[in-house]
Amino acid sequence: MRSGSLPMRKSIDITVGGNFADYSSIIMHERSSKPVGQPFMPNAGSLMGPGVWLVGKDSDGSLIHTYAARSVNSTGQTLAEFLSVNFKSFAPSSPNIDLARATYRPSHGAQTLRGTGVYLGEFWLHQHFRRGLDKTLVEQLNGLLCKEILERLDCDYAFSFIRQELVESGFAARLGFLHVEPDVFSVFEQGASSPITGYLAYNTNHDLQHVVRMAEDN
Tell me, what's the pLDDT at 81? 98
Residue 157, C-beta contacts closer than 8 angstroms, at least 6 positions apart: 79, 113, 115, 116, 117, 118, 202, 203, 204, 205
* Cα–Cα distances in angstroms (integers) from residue 75 to residues 15, 83, 105, 149, in the given order: 30, 12, 20, 18
Domain boundaries, the chain: 2-217
Tell me, what's the pLDDT at 69? 98
Tell me, what's the pLDDT at 216? 85
Per-residue pLDDT for the chain (218 aa), expressed as one digit of tens each? 665 555 554 578 999 999 999 999 999 999 988 889 999 999 887 899 999 999 999 889 999 999 999 999 998 999 999 999 999 999 876 778 888 899 999 999 999 999 999 999 999 988 776 655 566 788 889 999 999 999 999 899 999 999 999 999 998 998 999 999 999 999 998 888 999 999 999 999 999 999 999 888 87
CATH architecture label of 2-217:
3-Layer(aba) Sandwich (3.40)
pTM for the full model?
0.92
